[in-house]
């Protein structure tokens, strides 16, 4: 029996009862399986200094100095992620072309100015010294609806059929970079079907070398900007006509984002200036700037928090079998509808900040601005400081909040960002640890220790150590957070709603007899009852240019999903338990956002101004979900 796409989606056409599956229960069983061979408790903590990614140098300025131009390649290299003395780790990340000194995981930060475009030639540099392609360093399930280069032009961006269970894909790796939070032309968004292989010497005959939308977007881009896309590259221009904020870039290839991002490629893109930024000196700074001398002290720091697992040889561990998740050993193909390699969620057993396990940072007794990113594949973070200094959150994904919010903990779903101020004043000599109380399993909402077990306090419950050991280098002249006036710079909310849309979040159970595990997560429409839809189904979200739409996202699953809508920044309107009363957004959700936590059994409503025509996507940012159908195309105009 062959597993066709139609049969697969048949599994998704489920009733309400089978939508509610105990994924948590299954995962708990898995966590007792010690598959990664490096015991995380054997990794010494707080022995490695935090790395603050420097600002990415420009390749050039172009168009009479009006555009910042970068030529950036995704490359493979080894980095000391684990503490010195333990093996190095093979990773991928971005580097400026021909500048090995800019090679780092996570990438150097792109510093952008409001109103000043940034153009990047993104090179797929996953080739060896001889120019032959490098295979993926992590297992890729070729049975999903994915980029599928071996399918050729006719079979790319599809779910291939197999007569027997295949192994992992070992061919050339497609990439396409997405600027998360950006507001740009469709051809520069990093559409999942606009991927491209490296321009390698040994691409197998018959392989598709680009995704199904690459050529169309290439033509549009060249017409709009004049930039030529050479083989193995794409040239994306970012307008930076949006409020100052914390954006980030990462891979977005169809059906393999989970592995491409876990392998490393991600970086911060900090947009500053314009009407929605504060004058220099108001907030703690500086942050790394282009051309800084070595050893400069920074009071604004980007912090990318990620969970990863390792094998004893230092290599990244990512499960290569569904058996890791719930012990299901098959049969896969033929016989069942269960993807053999894909795992519904993957949690690492070690915590990394900016590419190092459990680093430490020496700080002065003064205020710091931290740009926090949850860069985990599927883990929700609940961050607290110990001792409990608390945080002043001043911004989220879409810019500043209307007013600073004092919080004793930060909840961050995958891809969410928090712009916060932490005050170490008066703490000289103290050690302050950043802890994580989020669960080591899918998050469903609730309180650590009450509704779920917090992360393992010996490992994933710890993140970073601040040591207030540096003498003050000078007076802290930044404005105390409780005196900050953000109201003048907080971005405007969308206007009155012109259209309301009901959409749904769903899980699909296997139809294989005797096995009720999840085989996919799905978005869909909602008309009294949910209609789950896959990536390949016709577009259902057609949005008029200029519309202000409110999307009511009904979550029929057991888990919270961080839902990201490309191209726009939305306002969180409210949440409403099924059959209950609506309540307003959290205090830290009062600005604009691009990713929102949609809780199980609730309707989460978000509103945005869809002002720019194009083909974009919305999806769950648990990237294992995104890769297996929990992503939908949508069109503006
Ligand atoms: Cu999800």
Rounded to the nearest angstrom, the distance between the alpha carbon of 563 and the centre of ligand 1 is 7
Taking the centre of ligand 1 as the mean of its atom positions, its distance from the CA of residue 102, in whole angstroms, is 33
Q: How far apart (Å, rounded) are the C-alpha atoms in residues 447 and 439?
A: 10
| Cα of 231 from ligand 1 centre, angstroms | 34
Higher confidence at residue 593 or residue 516?
593
- Tokens (6 digits) for 515: 């096995």
Range scoring the smallest mean pLDDT among 79-88, 197-206, 274-283, 320-329: 320-329
Task: Return the pLDDT at 607.
Answer: 98
Q: Which of 162-171, 332-341, 440-449 has the lowest mean pLDDT?
A: 332-341
Q: Give me 256's structure tokens.
A: 């393999």
Gap from CA of 375 to ligand 1 centroid (Å): 15
What's the gap in Å between 191 CA and the centre of ligand 1?
Answer: 19
The CA 22 to ligand 1 mean position distance, Å, reads 14
Ligand 1 centre to CA of 18 (Å) is 17
Give the tokens for residue 272: 């500053």
Would you state the torsion angle of the CA atoms of residues 71, 175, 417, 613, taken in this order, to the nearest 10 degrees? 90
Which residues partner with 84 through β-bridges?
A: 86
For the cut 80, the answer to whether the pLDDT of residue 66 exceeds it is: yes
Beta strands 110-113; 266-272: pairing state: parallel
- The per-residue pLDDT for 15 is 28
Record the tokens describing residue 38, joined without a space.
């490096």
In this predicted model, what pLDDT tens digit does every residue of 438-477 receive, in sequence order?
A: 999 999 999 999 999 999 999 999 999 999 999 999 999 9
Work out the percent of the chain whose per-residue pLDDT is above 90: 90
Phi, psi for residue 202 in degrees, rounded to 5: -125, 35
CA of 390 to the centre of ligand 1 (A): 29
| Spacing, Cα 415 to ligand 1 middle (Å) | 12
Global pTM reads 0.94
Q: Which of the four pLDDT bands, split at 50, 70 and 90, describes residue 573?
A: very high
Gap from CA of 238 to ligand 1 centroid (Å): 28
234 C-alpha vs ligand 1 centroid, how far in Å? 29
Q: What is the DSSP letter of 440?
A: S
What are the two backbone dihedrals, phi and then psi, of residue 113, each rounded to the nearest 5 degrees? -110, 135
Closest CA to 256 of 141, 379, 340: 141
**Own/partner pairs, 575-583, CB within 8 angstroms, 24+ separation:** 575/599, 575/602, 575/603, 575/604, 575/605, 576/602, 576/603, 576/605, 577/601, 577/602, 578/554, 578/602, 578/603
Question: Two tokens at 625?
Answer: 């979900």
pLDDT of 19: 33
Dist. CA 630 → ligand 1 center (Å): 7
SS3 of residue 215 by DSSP: helix
pLDDT, tens digit (0-9, with 9 covering 90-100), for 116-125: 999 999 999 9
Q: How far is the CA of 555 from the centre of ligand 1 (A)?
A: 10
pLDDT exceeds 50 at position 4: no
CA of 623 to the centre of ligand 1 (A): 7
pLDDT level of residue 330 (50, 70, 90 thresholds): confident
CA of 565 to the centre of ligand 1 (A): 13
Q: Please, which residues have CB less than 5 A from ligand 1, an ion?
A: 561, 620, 622, 625
Taking the centre of ligand 1 as the mean of its atom positions, its distance from the CA of residue 626, in whole angstroms, is 7
- Classified as helix, coil or strand, 385 is strand
In angstroms, what is the span from residue 506 Cα to ligand 1's centroid?
9
Residue 612 is given by DSSP the state S
The C-alpha torsion from 77 through 81 and 82 to 83, rounded to 10°, is: 110
3-class DSSP state for residue 322?
Answer: coil
**pLDDT attached to residue 27:** 44
Distance 496 CA to ligand 1 centre (A): 29
Distance 622 CA to ligand 1 centre (A): 5
Q: Respond yes or no on whether the N-terminal peptide bond of residue 286 is cis (omega within 30° of 0).
A: yes
Phi, psi (deg, nearest 5) at residue 499: -155, 140
From the CA of 345, how far away is ligand 1's center (Å)? 9
Ligand 1 centroid vs 259 CA: distance in angstroms? 16
Spell out a b/e string for 167-201, using b for 16 or more CB atoms within 10 Å of the CB, else e: ebbebbbbbbbbbbbbbbbbbbbbbbbbbbbbbbe
Phi, psi angles (nearest 5°) of residue 28: -55, -40
Please say if the pLDDT value at position 295 is more than 80: yes
Residues 91-116 have pLDDT tens digits of 999 999 999 999 999 999 999 999 99
Least confident span in 3-12, 141-150, 194-203: 3-12
The Å distance, Cα 628 to ligand 1 centre, comes to: 10
For residue 559, how far is its CA from the centre of ligand 1 (angstroms)?
8
Mean pLDDT of 526-534: 95
CA 525 – ligand 1 centroid, Å? 16
Nearest Cα residue to 41 out of 263, 303, 310: 310
Residue 202 has pLDDT above 80, yes or no: yes
Ligand 1 centroid, distance to 281 Cα (angstroms): 39
The residue with tokens 């309707």 is 603
Ligand 1: centre distance to CA 24 (Å): 13
* Ligand 1 centroid from CA 342, angstroms: 14
pLDDT, residue 132, reads 98
Model confidence at 13: pLDDT above 70: no
pLDDT at 248: 98
Report how far ligand 1's centroid is from the alpha carbon of 597 (Å): 10
């Amino acid at each position: 029996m062959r597993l066709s796409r139609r049969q697969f989606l048949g599994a998704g056409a489920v009733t309400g009862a089978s939508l509610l599956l105990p994924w948590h229960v299954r995962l708990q069983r898995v966590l007792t399986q010690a598959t990664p061979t490096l015991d995380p408790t054997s990794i010494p903590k707080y022995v490695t200094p935090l790395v603050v990614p420097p600002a990415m140098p420009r390749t050039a300025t172009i168009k009479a100095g009006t555009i910042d131009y970068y030529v950036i390649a995704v490359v493979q290299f080894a980095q000391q992620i684990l503490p010195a003395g333990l093996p190095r780790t093979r990773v991928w990340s971005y580097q400026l072309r021909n500048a090995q000194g800019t090679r780092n995981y996570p990438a150097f930060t792109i510093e952008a100015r409001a109103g000043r475009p940034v153009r990047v030639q993104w090179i797929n540099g996953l080739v060896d010294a001889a120019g032959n392609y490098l295979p993926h360093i992590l297992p890729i399930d070729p049975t999903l609806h994915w980029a599928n280069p071996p399918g050729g032009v006719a079979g790319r961006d599809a779910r291939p059929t197999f007569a027997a269970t295949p192994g992992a894909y070992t061919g050339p790796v497609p990439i396409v970079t997405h600027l998360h939070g950006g507001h740009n032309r469709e051809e520069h968004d990093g559409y999942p079907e606009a991927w491209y292989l490296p321009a390698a010497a040994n691409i197998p005959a018959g392989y598709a070398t680009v995704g199904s939308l690459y050529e169309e977007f290439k033509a549009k881009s060249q017409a709009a900007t004049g930039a030529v896309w050479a083989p193995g590259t794409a040239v994306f221009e970012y307008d930076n006509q949006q409020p100052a904020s914390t954006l980030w870039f990462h891979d977005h290839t169809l059906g393999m984002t989970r592995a491409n991002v876990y392998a490393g490629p991600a970086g911060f893109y900090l947009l500053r200036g314009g009407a929605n930024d504060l004058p220099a000196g108001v907030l703690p700074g500086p942050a790394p700037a282009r051309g800084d001398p070595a050893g400069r002290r920074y009071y604004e720091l980007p912090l990318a928090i990620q969970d990863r697992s390792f094998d004893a040889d230092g290599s990244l561990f990512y499960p290569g079998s569904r058996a890791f998740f719930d012990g299901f050993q098959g049969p896969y193909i033929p016989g069942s509808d269960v993807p053999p390699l894909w795992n519904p969620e993957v949690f690492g057993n070690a915590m990394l900040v900016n590419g190092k396990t459990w680093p430490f940072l020496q700080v002065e007794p003064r205020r710091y601005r931290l740009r926090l990113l949850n860069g985990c594949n599927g883990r929700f973070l609940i961050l607290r400081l110990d001792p409990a200094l608390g945080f002043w959150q001043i911004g989220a994904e879409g810019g500043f909040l209307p007013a600073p919010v004092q919080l004793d903990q930060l909840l961050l779903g995958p891809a969410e960002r928090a712009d916060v101020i932490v005050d170490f004043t008066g703490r000289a000599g103290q050690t302050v640890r950043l802890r994580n109380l989020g669960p080591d399993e899918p998050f469903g909402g609730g309180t650590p220790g009450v509704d779920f077990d917090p992360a393992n306090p010996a490992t994933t419950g710890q993140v970073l150590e601040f040591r207030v050991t540096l003498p003050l280098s000078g007076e802290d002249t930044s404005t105390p957070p409780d005196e900050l006036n953000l109201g003048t710079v907080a971005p405007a909310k969308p206007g009155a709603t012109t259209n309301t849309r009901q959409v749904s979040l769903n899980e699909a159970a296997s139809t294989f007899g005797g096995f009720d595990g999840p085989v996919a997560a799905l978005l869909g429409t909602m008309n009294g009852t949910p209609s789950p839809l896959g990536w390949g189904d016709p577009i259902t979200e057609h949005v008029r240019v200029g519309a202000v739409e409110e999307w009511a996202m009904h979550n029929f699953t057991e888990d919270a999903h961080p839902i990201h809508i490309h191209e726009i920044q939305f306002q969180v309107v409210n949440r409403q338990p099924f059959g209950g009363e609506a309540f307003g957004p959290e205090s830290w959700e009062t600005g604009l956002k691009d990713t929102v936590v949609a809780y199980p059994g609730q309707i989460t409503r978000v509103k945005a101004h869809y002002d720019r025509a194009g083909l974009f996507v919305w999806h769950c940012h648990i990237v294992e979900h995104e890769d297996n159908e929990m992503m939908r195309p949508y069109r503006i105009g």
